[in-house]
C-alpha cells in the first residue's frame, strides 16, 4: 500500500490528525495496535479547553459534545478546607467544557467509519523504517499476514509507550523527565457530582479531586503513594479518605456508591526534543506527558496535531516545507509552557513529605496569594483555559 501520511495510533491525537488530513484531501491511514473497543475502554481525562472545543467543531465532530458536554465557568480550589472559586469567565472571558476523552474518541471513530476512512486495528509488530529517507515505511502483521505501507511522512501518535519515539536513534533525541513519588487513585461512580464545578483540593493527607463525566456520573481522585495497590482500596476506604481531604460541608454532600472503575495512574512530566526525525513527527503523548493536575494531556495532543496537519497540508498544497521545518519548535514552545503550568498545579496541590514544614508553608502562601490577587487568578485561569500560543 502507498499513502501520503501513515498515522501510528488511534487515540485522540491520531484520530484528530486523520480527520484534519481527510478534510484537506491528504491521503492517510491509521495503524493501531489495539481494537477499537479496547481504545474506547480506557478511562481518561475529561476537560476540554475552548481551543479543543473549537477544533472538534471545525472538523465536524462537535454535535454530541454540544448536546451532552457541560460548559464550566470556573473551578474551585480547596486548601485544608478553605475554598476559593476561580471564575474563568470573569477573569479571562473563557470557559472549559466537561466532555470525556472516551466520548471524543468515540465521536472521531464514528466520523471516520461514516466516511470509510481507513483504520487498521489490531496491527501487531508495528515497525518503522527508512525514517530519514525519502519514502519511509511502516510494517505490521495483521491476522498472521505481513504488510508494508510506504508513505511520504509518518505521524507518531502512539502514546508514551509507542514504537515511534523508540524508533528514533538515541543520539538524535533528548528527553527531559520528572517522576513524582505518588500517583492518583481514581474512582468512577454513577452518582451525581458533589458540586457544579471541579474541586481541586490540597490537604495535609494529600491531594483530592472531585470531577465528573455528566450530571449523573462522577470521577474522583486521591493522591496515593506509588507503592499502593488498587486491591487494597475498598470503595469504603476510598470514600472515607476522600471525605477526610475535603471541606466538611462538601464531604457531607458527597454521594457515594459502588465504583464502576478504579485504577492508579502514576504522575510524570516528560518532554522529548526535537519532535521530528527525518520524515517522522511526534505528537500527543508520544511527544510529551504532563501530570493530570491541569487537565492538559488531551488538549495538548489536539493542539499538536492541529499544527502538524497545517504543516502537512501546506507541504502538499503550497509545496512549502516551512510548516514542517518549524513544527517541532512551535509545538515545543507551547509544550514547555504547559509543562510548567501542570508542574505548578501539581506542586501547589499535592503533599511532598520531602519538602517538610517549610514546603507546606510555601504552598499555603501560594494559595493565600491566589486568594488575594486577581492577577494571580488570571494567570491560573489563562493557563487552565488554554494559552493562545
Ligand atoms: N503501534 C500502533 N499503535 C500503537 C502502538 C504501536 N506500537 N503503541 C501504542 N499504540 C496506540 C495505543 O494503543 C493508543 O490507542 O496508540 C494510541 C495512543 O493513544 P493515547 O495514549 O490516547 O495518546 P494520544 O492520542 O497522544 O492522546 C493524548 O491525552 O489525556 C491524555 O494521556 C491522555 O491519552 C491521552 C492523551
Ligand atoms: C477527570 O475528570 O478525569 C479529570 C479532570 C481534571 C483533571 C484531571 C482529570 O485535572
**Could you give phi then psi for residue 297, rounded to 5 degrees?**
-55, -55
Q: What is the pLDDT of residues 26-79, one digit of tens each?
A: 999 999 999 999 999 888 888 999 999 999 999 999 999 999 999 999 999 999
Closest ligand 2 atom, CA of 212?
2
Q: What is the pLDDT of residues 240-280, one digit of tens each?
A: 999 999 999 999 999 999 999 999 999 999 999 999 999 99
Architecture of the domain made up of 5-44+100-177+269-346: 3-Layer(bba) Sandwich (3.50)
Total number of residues shown for the chain: 389
Largest CA distance in the chain: 64
Residue 152: pLDDT band (50, 70, 90) is: very high
Please give the share of the chain, as a percent, with pLDDT higher than 90: 98
Q: Which of 214, 259, 292 to mutate to test the pocket of ligand 2 (most atoms within 8 A of CB)?
A: 292
Closest ligand 2 atom, CA of 294?
10
pLDDT of residue 299: 98
pLDDT of residue 138: 98
Dihedral sign, Cα of residue 6, residue 17, residue 12, residue 216: negative
pLDDT of residue 45: 85
Query: Known catalytic residues?
Result: 72, 200, 292, 296, 384
Neighbours of 365 (CB within 10 A): 10
**CA–CA separation, 190 and 201 (whole Å):** 22
pTM of the model: 0.97
Every domain of the chain and the residues it spans: 5-44+100-177+269-346
Please state, in angstroms and as integers, the Cα–Cα distance from residue 218 to each residue in 190, 208, 210, 344, following that order: 6, 13, 8, 25
Q: Which of 283, 284, 386 to mutate to test the pocket of ligand 1 (most atoms within 8 A of CB)?
A: 284
Q: What is the pLDDT of residues 163-177, one digit of tens each?
A: 999 999 999 999 999
Residue 389 has pLDDT above 90, yes or no: no
4 contacts 151 by C-beta, under 8 angstroms: yes
Ligand index nearest the alpha carbon of residue 45: 2
Q: What is the pLDDT of residues 300-341, one digit of tens each?
A: 999 999 999 999 999 999 999 999 999 999 999 999 999 999
Give residue ranges with CB within 6 A of ligand 1. 8-14, 31-34, 39, 44-45, 101, 123, 126, 157-159, 162-163, 284-285, 297-298, 301
Q: What is the pLDDT of residues 91-137, one digit of tens each?
A: 999 999 999 999 999 999 999 999 999 999 999 999 999 999 999 99
Amino acid at each position: 500500500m502507498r499513502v501520503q501520511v501513515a498515522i501510528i495510533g488511534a487515540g485522540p491525537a491520531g484520530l484528530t490528525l486523520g480527520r484534519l488530513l481527510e478534510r484537506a484531501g491528504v491521503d492517510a491511514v491509521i495503524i493501531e495496535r489495539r481494537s477499537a473497543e479496547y481504545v474506547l475502554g480506557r478511562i481518561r481525562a475529561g476537560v476540554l479547553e475552548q481551543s479543543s472545543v473549537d477544533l472538534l467543531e471545525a472538523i465536524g465532530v462537535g454535535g454530541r459534545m454540544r448536546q451532552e458536554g457541560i460548559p464550566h465557568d470556573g473551578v474551585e480550589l480547596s486548601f485544608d478546607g478553605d475554598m476559593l472559586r476561580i471564575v474563568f469567565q470573569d477573569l479571562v472571558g473563557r470557559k472549559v467544557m466537561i466532555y470525556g476523552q472516551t466520548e471524543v474518541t468515540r465521536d472521531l471513530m464514528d466520523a471516520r467509519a461514516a466516511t470509510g476512512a481507513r483504520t487498521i486495528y489490531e496491527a501487531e509488530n508495528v515497525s518503522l523504517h527508512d525514517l530519514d529517507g525519502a519514502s519511509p515505511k511502516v510494517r505490521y502483521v495483521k491476522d498472521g499476514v505481513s504488510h508494508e505501507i510506504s508513505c511520504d511522512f509518518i505521524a507518531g501518535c502512539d502514546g508514551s509507550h509507542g514504537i515511534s519515539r523508540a524508533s528514533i536513534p538515541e543520539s538524535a533525541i533528548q528527553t527531559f523527565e520528572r517522576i513524582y513519588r505518588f500517583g492518583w487513585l481514581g474512582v468512577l461512580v454513577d452518582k451525581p457530582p458533589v458540586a457544579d464545578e471541579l474541586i481541586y483540593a490540597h490537604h495535609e493527607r494529600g491531594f483530592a479531586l472531585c470531577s465528573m463525566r455528566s450530571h449523573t456520573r462522577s470521577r474522583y481522585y486521591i493522591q496515593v503513594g506509588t507503592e499502593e495497590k488498587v486491591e487494597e482500596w475498598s470503595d469504603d476506604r476510598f470514600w472515607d479518605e476522600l471525605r477526610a481531604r475535603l471541606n466538611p460541608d462538601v464531604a457531607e454532600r458527597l454521594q457515594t456508591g459502588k465504583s464502576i472503575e478504579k485504577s492508579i495512574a502514576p504522575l510524570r512530566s516528560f518532554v522529548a526534543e526535537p519532535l521530528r526525525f527525518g520524515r517522522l513527527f511526534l505528537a500527543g503523548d508520544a511527544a510529551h506527558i504532563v501530570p493530570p493536575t491541569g487537565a492538559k494531556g488531551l488538549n495538548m495532543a489536539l493542539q499538536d496535531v492541529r499544527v502538524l496537519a497545517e504543516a502537512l497540508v501546506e507541504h502538499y498544497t503550497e509545496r512549502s516545507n516551512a510548516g514542517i521545518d518549524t513544527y517541532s519548535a512551535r509545538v515545543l514552545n507551547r509544550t514547555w509552557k504547559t509543562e510548567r503550568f501542570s508542574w505548578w498545579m501539581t506542586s501547589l496541590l499535592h503533599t511532598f513529605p520531602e519538602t517538610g514544614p517549610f514546603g507546606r508553608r510555601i504552598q499555603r502562601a501560594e494559595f493565600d496569594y491566589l486568594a488575594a490577587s486577581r492577577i494571580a487568578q488570571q494567570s491560573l485561569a489563562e493557563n487552565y483555559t488554554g494559552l493562545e500560543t
